[in-house]
Amino acid sequence: MKKYFLPYVVTILILLSVVLAPGCGSPAGAPVGGLEELTIGQKAVLNEPAVVLIYSTWSANLVDRSTREAVVGLFQDGEMFQALDIPTLTLGGQGTGFVINPDGYVLTNAHVVHKSDEQIESAMYRGFVNWGFGTFPQYWAQVGLDPWPVTEQDAEDLWAAAHESFEVVNIKQEVTVTVGKSVAGLDLIERGYRADVRKVSPREWKLVNGQWTSVSGKDVAIIKMEANNHPAMILGDSGEMMVGDNIMAIGYPGAVVQHDYLSEASKFEASVTAGIISAVKEAPDGSPILQTDTAITHGNSGGPAINEEGEVIGITTFGTSGWDPVLGEYKEVGGFNFLVPSNVAKDFLNELNVKNEQGVTDEHYSRAMLLFYAERYAEAVDEFEIVLNLFPGHPYAHDYITLCQEKMLE
């Protein structure tokens, strides 16, 4: 729960001739403020149920080009080499997305859910070679490459040998979407929804510092999961955003999801970060890009950035890295991050005839939250229960019901 967004009021009780029922808060029937009265932080909390964690996996087989047999490696255990059968290699990645209509259409970055065959093959070869510190294909041992110690040149030689000797086949992809908090004891994929990739924006790639990098700004994808009455978010007009405007990003940063000192349940609750629009830029292909100082990192990719009206004005897409001469590697540079504007995403939705709208779950959840902020807890509980009837998998309604009950007991 993000209690730091919730108002906490200390009330001094005075002897009055009016007796209030415990926990009623504001009198029933009193006016409830509209959504426009909420802060941008409260609007971020209101939109969190529509933000989803996406986990993509790509699997493939490595076969010998001449024999067409699965590759068998050698593992060095002390001074002995032992055969190790590794018929399947798996590549995984985590990102964020957000639902854009109640039927389960999700908007995210293309790089979160899609890789070209060339990218997959390159990653599989490199991943196999990186096991050179413990696992070595029999072929490489036979041609005399000494695995200990492994130098950078050894790794390059192994990678070249992999391309020459082996082929990546049977490439498969699975995309899993999970909403809100995790369920203790269940694997991520077991508690999630399977999703289909419906459309991916075309992109151009180039190899930069050993990594495939997109040189196109239209890094957008639409995926579809089976859902009814799912919470959704509305796309705003990114063309109205100006330098200095306040925004908030919602997502699942890998630094949090993979943190060792957090409970499993709290790892998989979305994180909210704040900042401003710091510049308006262009991608190499001329596509518009919004620059922000809002903190985002790996795992935030594909998540929403909202304006003060609570509308999505951008998709958190990429950051900035700089060369660290001490470590000899590229490191993230904080404060210089970039969004794909929502208007680019709108054009993409129109191509697929996907309608951006909210549904009845959002209507009742919004009313429930307004009643909660107005301290009309009993009425709020009624609305939260309607939300759960409409969408039993809602990640936050149960918690707010408990919080309302605690307030009523006070």
Distance of alpha carbon 251 from alpha carbon 296, whole angstroms: 8
Do 400 and 2 touch, CB atoms closer than 8 A? Answer: no
Distance of alpha carbon 336 from alpha carbon 318, whole angstroms: 9
| Phi, psi torsion values for 217, nearest 5 degrees | -85, -10
Query: What are the Cα distances from residue 72, in Å, to 19, 63, 67, 97, 125?
Result: 79, 9, 12, 38, 14
Q: For 75-84, what is the mean pLDDT?
A: 43
The full length of the chain comes to 410
The radius of gyration of the chain's CA atoms, rounded to the nearest angstrom, is 25
Q: Is the model more confident about 16 or about 198? A: 198
CA 341 distance to own-chain centroid: 17
Distance of alpha carbon 307 from alpha carbon 263, whole angstroms: 31
- Whose tokens are 């922000």? That residue is 292
Side chain identity at residue 399, one-letter code: D
pLDDT per residue as tens digits for the range 363-405: 999 999 999 999 999 999 999 999 999 998 888 999 999 999 9
Q: How confident is the model at residue 32 (pLDDT cuts 50, 70, 90)?
A: low
Distance of alpha carbon 290 from alpha carbon 295, whole angstroms: 14
pLDDT per residue as tens digits for the range 219-239: 899 999 999 999 999 999 999
- Is residue 78 scored above 70 in pLDDT? no
State the CB neighbour count (10 A cutoff) for residue 361.
24
pTM to 2 decimals? Answer: 0.79
Q: Is the model more confident about 139 or about 165? A: 165
Do 297 and 255 touch, CB atoms closer than 8 A? Answer: yes
- Least confident range from 121-125, 187-191, 326-330: namely 187-191
45 DSSP 8-state letter: H
235 DSSP 8-state letter: B
Helices (H), 7-116: 40-47, 110-113
Q: What is the pLDDT of residue 76?
A: 44
Q: Which of 61-65, 140-144, 167-171, 306-310 shows the highest mean pLDDT? A: 306-310
Do 317 and 338 touch, CB atoms closer than 8 A? Answer: yes
Distance of alpha carbon 267 from alpha carbon 188, whole angstroms: 12
Among 264, 120, 250, smallest CA distance to 188 is for 264
Side chain identity at residue 285, one-letter code: D
- Is residue 329 scored above 90 in pLDDT? no
CATH C-level class of 47-352: mainly beta
Distance of alpha carbon 278 from alpha carbon 40, whole angstroms: 18
- Provide the residue ranges of all domains of the chain, joining segments of one domain with +: 47-352, 359-410
Which value, to the nearest 10 degrees, does the dihedral of the CA atoms of residues 198, 388, 359, 252 take?
Answer: -50
**Percentage, residues of the chain above pLDDT 70:** 67
- Is residue 18 scored above 50 in pLDDT? no
Query: What are the Cα distances from residue 109, in Å, to 289, 299, 315?
Result: 14, 11, 7
Do 339 and 316 touch, CB atoms closer than 8 A? Answer: yes
Among 180, 145, 143, smallest CA distance to 52 is for 180
144 DSSP 8-state letter: T
Distance of alpha carbon 297 from alpha carbon 280, whole angstroms: 20
Do 47 and 272 touch, CB atoms closer than 8 A? Answer: no
Distance of alpha carbon 295 from alpha carbon 248, whole angstroms: 9
Do 50 and 95 touch, CB atoms closer than 8 A? Answer: no
Q: What is the pLDDT of residue 130?
A: 54
Q: What is the pLDDT of residue 147?
A: 54
Q: Is the model more confident about 258 or about 294? A: 294
Distance of alpha carbon 78 from alpha carbon 94, whole angstroms: 35
- Least confident range from 20-24, 62-66, 175-179, 266-270: namely 20-24
Q: What is the pLDDT of residue 14?
A: 27
